[in-house]
Structure 1
Amino acid sequence: MTLGEEDKISHALISSQRGICYTEDEAPEIETTTKTTRFYISIAAIVVALFLVTLDLVILPASLPAIAQDLKATSSQAYWCGTGYIIAQAASQPIFGTISVISGRKLMLQISLLIFMVASIMCARAQSIEWLIGTRVMQGLGGGGITTLTIMVVTDLTSLQERSKWMSILSLSYAFGNVGLVLGAAITEFTTWRWVYYINIPVCVILLAVLQLSLHLQPKIENHHNGLLKFDWAGIAILGGSASTLLLGLLSGGVSHPWSSAAIIAPLVIGVIGLVCFAIVEYFAPMPMFPRELLKSRTFNATSLISFVGGYAVTSLAFFLIVYFHGAAGYGVIHSAVAVLPTIILVPAGGIIGGVIITKSGDYRGPLYFGCAAVTAGMSSLTVLSPLSSVGLQTGLQIPIGIGLGFIYIASNIAPQATLPSHLHAVSVNQITFTRVMGQAFGIAIGGAIFQNQFDNYVNNHVRDGSLSDGFRVRGKDAELAFTRIDQFPQQVSDVYSAIYCDSLRAVWFTGMALSAVALLCCFSTQKASLGRDLTANRRLPSSK
C-alpha cells in the first residue's frame, strides 16, 4: 500500500467519524487487517456468551411443564417466564449499547455477564412462579446486554466487507444454543429443572476471566456525565412499560378474561397510547434510541420490520412446534425436542451459507429476498400437518423455514450497514437486534393468544356436538402444560385432543405466513449498495499476539 493510499484511508476514517459518507466511486480500497490470537480468543468467548443467552431462551419450552407443575403455575403464568425474559432483553439492549459508547464495550459486556450469572443463581433457587418470573426478567436484562454488545464488538473489530463472514460465525452460537430444547428436555426428565439455570454459572465465570485477558478495545473518549444525562431514559422506560402492558393484554385476552372486558381493553389501550408517547419523546430526545438519521434510511426501516418478523417466527416455532409434537403427534418430552431440531439447526446453517454468499458476491438483497420467501412458503406448508403426518413430512416442512430464517438473520444485519455511514453501523446493529428481540416477545404473546383462544373454540365445538364430554374439558390457558393429563384420558378422548391441538396451531402458522409475506414485500424497499464502500473498523485489538 502506497503512502498516498494510506493518506486516503486516514481521510476516510476521519470523515466517517464525522458522519461523511463516501459514494461508491469515491470510496478508497481498504485491505482487511491480519487477525491476532487475541482476536480469535475474543470471538470464541463472544460466541459462547451469545450461546448462553440463546440457550436460556430455547431451553425454556421443554422445561415449562416441569416448572409449572413444581411451582403450581398456569400456562399463562409460565409464558411470562419466556416473555418477561425477552421484554427485559429488548429493553436493556439500547441502554447497554448507548452506555458502552461512553464507558467502553468490554466493561459493559462484563457487567452484563455478571448480571446474567447472578440472575441464573436466583432463578435456580426460585420458590414460586412470581419469584421465577422476576429473576427471569433480571436474567433478560443481562442477556440483552450480552446480545447487543457481542454483535457491536464484532462490528467494531471487522471491516464491512468481511463482517458478514464473522456475523455468520456468531450464528454458531444459535446452533449450539438451540440444542437447549433437547438439553432442557433431558434435564427435566432425569434431574430437576433447576439445573437449567445452574449450568450457566461456571461458564459465566470462565467467560469473565477470558474476556478480561483477551479483549482489549480502544474505547471512545466521551464525557461520562453528559453522555448519561443525554441518554433517552424516558424513552426506554415508556417503551418497556407500554410493550409489557400491550403483551399482557394479548396474552390474557380470551383466556383469563373476555376480549371485551375492561381487564383486556385497558392494557391494550394503555399500551398503544404508550407507544404513541414513545414516538413523541423520541422526536424531542437529544440522544434518541432510534437516531433520526437512521429513521430516514429506507433500508433500515425495511430491515427493522423484516428482523421483527424473523424474531417472531423463531420463537413461535420454538414454542409451538414443541406443542405440535407433544400434543398432536403424541411424542414424549425428549422426542418432541429432537423433532424440532431440523428448524433449530438449519437457522445457523442458513446464516453461515448466507454469510458466505454475501461475502463472495457482495449482494445482501438476494439472500434477504430468498429468506423471506422461504419462511413464507415454509409457514404456509406447516398448515398441512396432521396428528398422523409422517416423520419425513414433519422434518421436510421445517427445512425451508430454518434456512430462510438464517438468511434473514445475516442479511438484515448487513443491509443497513451497507447503506449507512460508518459512525451509524454499531447503532444500526443495536437497533436491528432490538427489533428482532421485540419480535421474539410478540411471537410468544401473539402465538400464545391465538393458540389458546382457538383451543377453547375447538373444545367448545366438540363438547356441543357430543364428541367430547364436559368432564374431559381442558381449558386453553392450560393446554400447553396438559399433555400428561390428556395422556391419562381414554384413547378416544386423547385422539380428539390430538386433532384439537393440530387445528388450533394451524391459526398460528397462518399468522406467521401472513407476517412473512409482509416482510417479503418490505424487501423491495431495500437499497443496493457496495460492501466495499467503507471497510474500516472503528476499533482494533492490539497487534501483539
Structure 2
Amino acid sequence: MTDIVPLRQRPTYNGIIQMAWALGTITGPLIGGLFAEHSTWRWVFYINFPFCGIGLVMVPLVVRLHAERASLKERLLYVDWTGGALFIASTCSFLIGTTWGGAQYAWDSWRTLVPIVLGVGGIIGTLCWERYGARNPFIRLWLFKNHYAIAAYVCAILQGLLMFCELYYLPIYLLSVRSLSPTLTGVGLTPITGALLPTSVLVGALMTRLGRYTWAIWSGWAVTLVATALLILLSTSTPTYGWALLFVPVGLGHGLVLMSLNFCVQALADTKDVAYAAAMYTFLRTFGMCIGVAVGGTVFQNRLLHYLTTSPMHLPNPESVARNAEGFIAVLKALPVGSAERRGYEEAYAESFRNVFEVLTGVAALGGLASVFIGHASMDRELDSEHVLQRGGEGSN
C-alpha cells in the first residue's frame, strides 16, 4: 500500500482492508469455539489451509507490480541474518524468563534470571550490531530520529501489549468465571470486535478528509485508559449485560489507536522510509503482543497462586492449578454448580483477572502519556515509489 497509494488516501484504502478483516475477526472466534466444542481442536488449524491456498493462487494473479529486482543471491545476501538471529534468540530468552518467573520457578532462581539477563544483553547487542555492524540493518534505527517518532513507536508496542493481552485473557475470564461454552465465548467477544472495526474504518475516512491524526491518537488513548480501568470491575457476579457493555469501550479505544498510529509513523518518516516505517510499526506492535501474553501470564499465574494458597477454603493443589490455569478450566466446570470449592476457584480466578487489568491500566496510562509527545506531520505528500501497477500489459502509476 505504501508503494501504490498516496499517504493522504491510505487510511481510506486501509479501511477497505479493515472491512475484510472484520469478517474474519468477528466470525473467527465463533467458528473456533464451534470446532473446539463440537469437533477436534485441530480443525482450528486445518481450516486455515484452504484460505492459504486461495491466497497463494490469487496474489500472483491479481497483485501485478513491476519494479527492478536483483538476483535471488543478491536478495538473500541483502537480508540481515545476523541481526535477525540475535533479535529472535534474545527476545525468546527474555520471554521465557518472564513467563517462568514466579510460576515455574522463583523470581530469584537462576533459571529465571539467566534467560532474562541473556535476553536483555542480547537485545542490547542486537541494537549495537544494527547500528555499527549490519550493512543492511533490519531494524532501521534512523526511523527513531526524533521524540515524535520514538513516542509513536513506544505507543505501538504498548497498544499491541494491551490489545493482545485483553483479547487473550477476556475469553479465559468468560470460560472460567462466567462458565460460558467455547462457542458463547466467541460470541462474547463480538462487542469488542463489533466496536473496533467500524471505528477503525470511520477514523480512516476522517483522517483522509482532515489530513490530521493526532486527534485520533489522543482521544483513542483516553478511551483505552478508561476502558481498561473499567475491566477491573469484572467479577464473579457481573451480569451478562454488564460485561458486554464493558467490552464495547475496549473496541472503541483500540479502533481509534490502531488506525491512527499506523499512519502517524508513516507521516513522521521521510518519503524514502515510509514503507520501512509501516513495517516497523507492525513489527513493534507484534512484539508488544508477545510481551503482552508473557506479562499477563506472569501476573495472572502469580496472583492466582497467591489467592489459591491464602483461600480460607483450603483449595487443593494450588501450585498445579496456577501453573495450568487454562487447562484447569475443564476441571472447574465439572465441579458441582454452587459448591464451596467451585466458588473458591472462581473467586480466585476473578481476583487474578482484576490484578491483570490493574497492571494493564498502568500500561494504558503510560501509553497515554507517551502519546502526548506525538506531534503533527503533514499527510499531503506525493507518492514516490519505484513500483508500478500493471494493467493490460501496460504500466501506469
Class of the TM-score when normalised by the shorter of the 2 chains: over 0.9
> CA deviation digits over 1:143-186, x for unaligned, max 9?
xxxxxxxxxxx221211110011122222344223232211110
The 5 Å alignment of 1:119-198 reads: 154-178=1-25, 179-198=27-46
Gaps of 5+ in 2: none
State the distance in 1 between where 2:302 and 2:381 align: 50
Cα distance, 1:370 vs. partner? 1.3
> CA deviation digits over 1:89-109, x for unaligned, max 9?
xxxxxxxxxxxxxxxxxxxxx
State the distance in 2 between where 1:450 and 1:211 align: 42
Q: Is the 8 A contact 2:96 2:115 kept in 1?
A: yes
What one-letter code is carried by the residue in structure 1 that aligns with 2:221?
C
Cα distance, 1:450 vs. partner? 0.7
What one-letter code is carried by the residue in structure 2 that aligns with 1:489?
L
Which one of 314, 327, 334 corresponds to residue 488 of structure 1? 334
Cα distance, 1:210 vs. partner? 1.6
Which one of 134, 141, 159 corresponds to residue 310 of structure 1? 159
> CA deviation digits over 1:275-332, x for unaligned, max 9?
1111111111221122243121433222211111121122111210011111112222
Which one of 75, 86, 91 corresponds to residue 243 of structure 1? 91
Q: Which moved more, 1:277-286 or 1:426-435?
A: 277-286
State the distance in 2 between where 1:388 and 1:537 align: 56
Structure 1 residues 223 and 293, CA gap change in structure 2 (3 angstroms): farther
What one-letter code is carried by the residue in structure 1 that aligns with 2:163?
V
State the distance in 2 between where 1:425 and 1:471 align: 53
Q: Is the 8 A contact 1:308 1:436 kept in 2?
A: yes
Calculate the aligned-residue CA RMSD, in Å. Answer: 1.9
Which one of 151, 157, 173 corresponds to residue 324 of structure 1? 173
Structure 1 residues 312 and 174, CA gap change in structure 2 (3 angstroms): farther
Q: Is the 8 A contact 1:379 1:513 kept in 2?
A: yes
Cα distance, 1:223 vs. partner? 6.1
Cα distance, 1:245 vs. partner? 0.6
Cα distance, 1:539 vs. partner? 2.5
> What residue is the counterpart of 1:373 in the other structure?
222
What one-letter code is carried by the residue in structure 2 that aligns with 1:542?
Q
State the distance in 2 between where 1:503 and 1:537 align: 53
Q: Does 1:337 pair with 2:186?
A: yes
State the distance in 2 between where 1:289 and 1:309 align: 21
Q: Does 1:254 pair with 2:105?
A: no
Q: Is the 8 A contact 1:299 1:415 kept in 2?
A: no
The ranges of structure 1 where at least 4 consecutive aligned residues each deviate by more than 6 angstroms after the TM superposition are none
Structure 1 residues 541 and 327, CA gap change in structure 2 (3 angstroms): same
SS at match of 1:296: coil
State the distance in 1 between where 2:362 and 2:198 align: 25
State the distance in 2 between where 1:234 and 1:472 align: 43
Cα distance, 1:344 vs. partner? 2.5
Which one of 268, 278, 284 corresponds to residue 429 of structure 1? 278
Paired residues, what number?
389
Q: Is the 8 A contact 1:157 1:538 kept in 2?
A: no
Q: Is the 8 A contact 1:369 1:523 kept in 2?
A: yes
The 5 Å alignment of 1:380-529 reads: 380-462=229-311, 465=312, 467-470=313-316, 475-490=321-336, 491-529=339-377
SS at match of 2:325: helix
Q: Is the 8 A contact 2:267 2:378 kept in 1?
A: yes
Cα distance, 1:395 vs. partner? 1.2
Gaps of 5+ in 1: 1-153
SS at match of 2:108: coil
SS at match of 2:265: helix
> What residue is the counterpart of 1:534 in the other structure?
382
Cα distance, 1:424 vs. partner? 0.5
> What residue is the counterpart of 2:130 in the other structure?
282
User: TM-score of the superposition, structure 1-length normalised?
Assistant: 0.68
Q: Is the 8 A contact 2:7 2:267 kept in 1?
A: yes
Cα distance, 1:267 vs. partner? 0.5
The 5 Å alignment of 1:258-277 reads: 258-277=106-125
Q: Which moved more, 1:526-535 or 1:265-274?
A: 526-535
User: TM-score of the superposition, structure 2-length normalised?
Assistant: 0.93
Q: Is the 8 A contact 1:300 1:428 kept in 2?
A: no
Q: Which moved more, 1:328-337 or 1:427-436?
A: 328-337
Q: Does 1:362 pair with 2:208?
A: no
Structure 1 residues 252 and 292, CA gap change in structure 2 (3 angstroms): closer
> CA deviation digits over 1:358-403, x for unaligned, max 9?
1111111111111111111111110011111122220111112112
What one-letter code is carried by the residue in structure 1 that aligns with 2:333?
D
Where relative contact order (Cα < 8 A, 6+ residues apart) is larger, the structure is: 2
What one-letter code is carried by the residue in structure 1 that aligns with 2:15?
S
Cα distance, 1:345 vs. partner? 2.8
Q: Is the 8 A contact 2:214 2:374 kept in 1?
A: yes
Cα distance, 1:347 vs. partner? 2.2
State the distance in 2 between where 1:440 and 1:317 align: 10
State the distance in 2 between where 1:473 and 1:223 align: 56
Structure 1 residues 264 and 415, CA gap change in structure 2 (3 angstroms): same
Cα distance, 1:483 vs. partner? 1.6
Structure 1 residues 304 and 278, CA gap change in structure 2 (3 angstroms): same
